[in-house]
Amino acid sequence: MRFGIVVFPGTWSDVDCHHALEKVLGQQAEYVWHKDRDIDRFDAIVLPGGFSYGDYLRCGAIARFSPVMESVAAHAAQGKLVIGICNGFQILCEAGLLPGQLMMNDHLEFRCSWVNLRVENNETRFTHTARKGQVLRVPISHGEGNYTADPETIDELERERRILFRYCAEDGKVTPGANPNGSIGNIAGIMNERGNVLGMMPHPERCVETLLGGIDGAVILSSMFSPMKTPAKA
Amino acid sequence: MPVTDETLKEIALSRAEYEAVVDRLGREPEPLELGLFGALWSEHCGYKHSKPLLKLLPSKSERLLVAPGAENAGAVDIGDGLAIVMKIESHNHPSAVEPRQGAATGVGGIVRDIFAMGARPIALMNSLRFGLPDKPRNRYLLHGVVAGISTYGNCLGIPNVGGEVFFAREYDGNPLVNAMCVGLIEEGRIVRAAPKSPGDIILLVGADTGRDGIHGASGLASRAFAEQAEMRSAVQVGNPFLEKVLIEACLEAIKLPGVVGLQDLGAAGLTSAAIEAAARGNMGLRIDVARVPRRETGMTPYEVMLSESQERMIIIVKPGQEGPVIDTFSKWDLDATPIGEFVNGHEVTIMDGSRQVIATPVGPLTEPPMYEFDAPEPAGLRAIQNEDLAALPLPRQSAGHILLRLLGSPNIASKEAVFRQYDHQVQTNTVVPPGGDAAVLRLKGTPKGIALATDGNGRITYCDPYAGGAIAVAEACRNVSCTGATPIALTDGLNYGNPEKPSIQYQLRRSILGIRDACEALDVPVISGNVSLYNESADKAVFPTPIIGCLGLLARATTHCTVPFKAKDDVIVLLGAGKLSGDPAALAASEYLSLVHDRVAGLPKIDLFLESRLQKLCREAIAADLLRSAHDCSEGGLAVAIAESAILGGLGAELTIEIPDRWDAALFGETQSRIVVSVRKKDLARLEELAEAADVPALRLGTVSGRRVNFGSVCDVSLEAATNAWGHGFERSVSG
């Protein structure tokens, strides 16, 4: 599969995503400068982590005006895949490609640590290689990952099974203690109605090699390029 | 016009130094010239009290590519066509005035030093010292400094892989904030900070120039602290986003054929960056301050030349080849403005449009007077060293209770609450994260890894400056050796009080001699460093604190060792000691002595030859895959080292060794050159053979077993209580 990795000024997970996708998972990956508009050649677009435009004003609020974002919206409208990781998730929310908003962590500190994620829906293009209810161990690294949305949106996300990951304890129980940032319903990742745009705060690209502490991130990334046994249900 | 005392005080030149300026120029200096001399002759830029001593440090190594002081940072060859660039730098005074911005811009400054060499910054570490956390002011400084490092460093996408946080009363009001940065570059691609030929153009890139930080070098960092009360305007404000794009733009630009050199603007801003580059290239230079982009109006040439606005670099380009460089910067929405050029001869000419402001010879500016001293041992030091530790009563509390107190002491307890605020994984190289003896990073594209640690104990250095210097080197190298990596280079951050006082001169000189001797014994060079003097508040100096950053090389990143015990029934062995001594002399300068008896005294010692054999043995045993865990014995002594391996491994320890009557010295004494390891039963004999061949004593202590840390009837705590004390001690101490 051919991945385009978008680079905004201030992005820093671009290189990590490139390494994970190309060197570790054997896919094609290419950087896309945020001022480029031509992204037709890609099957999937990655909006990586970092501090685009320093996250000044509000996370992702400036990046969403970059020329590439119009093309990303068109790419998504064609049903092709988009994954926004960390800052990428924030940008997708700002761009209106995903509902809701990421606020400052409830404890007001930056948090870099390993968390457990329960796979809430394994019948999607991003999770179909996971077992139902599988617990994935993935790192987070953010100051503003506190997901929020109005009650109607949350209801809709729940009803349509668009919440893909929730922060949980090691045993898979979704508890307040397992929530690292105050997100409503321990939400760590959501997708759009059509099921082709994912936003998540944790960093799957950081855990695709045993030497670095775990390979659960590969479950998410490889779902994107592995054939699905049954068609996705959004 | 004779200069007033007031003016001299502002630029921190003494009357005698002013007279030396007049003498060397053959005339009275112009006001701008006086500013340049003040900055370049400041302790911060000129190292006038430390340079003669720093020359004592060994820097010879087959791996050395860039010697200390020659460029922005030192560099060593690590094979596979790669080199590591590294340096540590202090930002103590700005952090004391405004902790968040002070620490943030400290990170910014050291990162610029690394990418100014053309290297990609791959790791940060911090070595922090504060007054005791029971005072609100010290907690404010701690939280501000950590937030500053976190906010700035995380935005750059450079993993912050650890360091130290230590508290002692002596750092009240004058915290130490030392930041180390490590960069990776292809060997042969290191960029110099000098012009190649006359005519080379100076492009100023990055932030616009404002009035912030004027007299930062001469004012804040080069005089005693009581005078600093109202110097907040001398602290700069950082913009990490700008720094991040500056990194990317500079690393892209240096690939262009016309680029000759790169230099960051740090202390004394444009003055030191441009003039030191000219001195390195043995040329003169001509700058037009009118061309410097500014963020405020009405700035004088003096202010432009001495501004310490952050996130600025100069890039030196062959004439006629500026175009592609300017284009590269504009891709990143950055301006690159030609502000002058290097010229034949040895004169610094500063223009303001068509008006010449000054024309000054480079030599006198960059050759400040040097002060050499050999102060005698201060009165009173002997009394501290000779204090009779045997006369200390054994505590009424049980040994187990004391162990829990030590584990919960903010100096020993887990610093997780700090490290989790730093992104330590970005760049996906971090194999061993912060919290162990040393961090380990893999080097992509090679089987190799590097290990990084910082260490330095002000308490020990206070009791004996020579031992403090030597032990800082030994411990930093021991930390790295406990991962299996071979120490190959050091960077030193020297933090002391006012060097005009003989007692401080003695500390400085003796601890540098200790560093020198340890480097020689352990065969590791010092490749870069930083000196921070005048660390005093209310006329009281901080503990003399040499901080050593150590770089180690691992042949295979996969073959490394960590602190936690790994499996039940493994045998726990102490390397470096043949018996458990109850000699109270081991309590010298210990955490126990400070925490339980509120004393800092005794005579700390180290046998550097044993240290060298011990570290070599540890590395050999790890390379042979004999060790399941290895942990340096340092603050808190043997009992704390064992408890930490147990806590981190989630496994208890049954110690069967006999404990002498003086259990405090045996369990909590801080005798140097000891490593607690665990091995599989079947490997024990081989480890003991290796130890014997290496002439290093080894002592069987017990086994990994159960759910307690148990030294027989003398000291027995549950793993749960130990974990609780160690895991929450820091947060309990620092949340007000």
> How would DSSP label each residue in B143-173?
HHHHHHHHHHHHHHT--EEEEEEEE-GGGTT
In three-state secondary structure terms, B619 is: helix
Among A15, A111, A112, the residue with its CB nearest the CB of B427 is A15
Instruction: Give the minimum alpha-carbon distance from A16 to chain B in angstroms, rounded to a whole number.
Output: 6
In chain A, residues with a C-beta closer than 8 Å to the C-beta of B157 are 12-13, 50
Residues B535, B168: Cα–Cα separation, whole Å: 14
Place of tokens 């020359």: B55
Instruction: Give the minimum alpha-carbon distance from B483 to chain A in angstroms, rounded to a whole number.
Output: 15
Looking at residue B42, its pLDDT comes to: 87
Residues B111, B123: Cα–Cα separation, whole Å: 9
Dig out the tokens for B118 from the structure.
């053309």
Looking at residue B3, its pLDDT comes to: 84
Q: Which positions ≥6 away from B657 have C-beta within 8 Å?
A: B580, B699, B700, B701, B702, B711
The pLDDT tens digits of the residues spanning A128-153 come to 999 999 999 999 999 999 999 999 99
DSSP annotation of B623 reads H
Place of tokens 């800082």: B472
Ramachandran assignment for B697, one of left (phi > 0), alpha (psi -120 to 50 degrees), beta (any other):
beta
pTM: 0.96
Residues B630, B642: Cα–Cα separation, whole Å: 10
Angle, helix B240-253 to helix B322-331, in steps of 10 degrees = 140
In chain B, residues with a C-beta closer than 8 Å to the C-beta of A51 are 154-155, 240-241, 244
φ and ψ at A232, to 5 degrees?
-65, 140
Note whether B468 contacts A: Cβ–Cβ < 8 A.
Answer: no
Cβ–Cβ under 8 Å, residues B728 and B410? no
Mutation target to probe the A interface, by most A beta carbons within 10 A, among B239, B331, B425 is: B425
CATH number at residue A70: 3.40.50.880
Domain that residue A147 falls in:
2-223
CATH of domain B192-364: 3.90.650.10
Instruction: Give the minimum alpha-carbon distance from A97 to chain B in angstroms, rounded to a whole number.
Output: 25
Cβ–Cβ under 8 Å, residues B74 and B528? yes
Please say if A203 is a catalytic residue. Answer: yes
The pLDDT tens digits of the residues spanning B334-380 come to 999 999 999 999 999 999 999 999 999 999 999 999 998 889 999 99
Instruction: Give the minimum alpha-carbon distance from B33 to chain A in angstroms, rounded to a whole number.
Output: 38
Note whether B424 contacts A: Cβ–Cβ < 8 A.
Answer: yes
In chain A, residues with a C-beta closer than 8 Å to the C-beta of B425 are 112, 139, 141, 203, 206, 212
Looking at residue B530, its pLDDT comes to: 93
The amino acid at residue B295 is: R
Instruction: Give the minimum alpha-carbon distance from A73 to chain B in angstroms, rounded to a whole number.
Output: 24
With CA atoms as reference, the chain A residue closest to B152 would be A54
Residue A28 is inside which H or E element, if any? strand A28-33
| Residues of chain B falling short of pLDDT 70 | 1, 216-234
Tell me whether residues B431 and A211 touch, CB distance under 8 A: yes
Tell me whether residues B557 and A211 touch, CB distance under 8 A: yes
In chain A, residues with a C-beta closer than 8 Å to the C-beta of B248 are 9
> Which among B369, B408, B381, B404 is positioned nearest to B600, based on CA atoms?
B381
**Active-site residue identified among A18, A34, A75, A86:** A86
Residues A166, A116: Cα–Cα separation, whole Å: 8
The amino acid at residue B68 is: P
Note whether B151 contacts A: Cβ–Cβ < 8 A.
Answer: yes
The amino acid at residue B440 is: V
In chain B, residues with a C-beta closer than 8 Å to the C-beta of A53 are 241
Give a three-class secondary structure readout of A186-210.
HEEEEECCCCCEEEECCCHHHCCEH
User: How many contacts (CB atoms, under 8 Å) link A and B?
Assistant: 83
In three-state secondary structure terms, A14 is: helix
Dig out the tokens for B585 from the structure.
């002399």
> How would DSSP label each residue in B422-488?
S---TTS-EEE-TTSSSEEEE-TTSS-EEEEEEE--HHHHHH-HHHHHHHHHHHHHHHHHTTTPEEE
| Residues of chain A falling short of pLDDT 50 | 234
DSSP annotation of B337 reads E
Cβ–Cβ under 8 Å, residues B111 and B158? yes
Please say if A19 is a catalytic residue. Answer: no
Dig out the tokens for A93 from the structure.
């929310």
Residues A160, A154: Cα–Cα separation, whole Å: 10
Tell me whether residues A16 and B428 touch, CB distance under 8 A: yes
**Tally of structural domains, chain A:** 1
| Residue B573 vs residues A58, A155, B723: alpha-carbon distances, Å | 54, 58, 22
Q: Domain B381-418+561-736, what architecture?
A: Alpha-Beta Complex (3.90)
In chain A, residues with a C-beta closer than 8 Å to the C-beta of B554 are none
Counts for chain B of helices (H) and strands (E), in that order = 25, 28
The amino acid at residue B301 is: P
Numbered ranges of CATH 3.90.650.10 in chain B: 192-364, 381-418+561-736
With CA atoms as reference, the chain A residue closest to B556 would be A211
Residues B626, B677: Cα–Cα separation, whole Å: 10
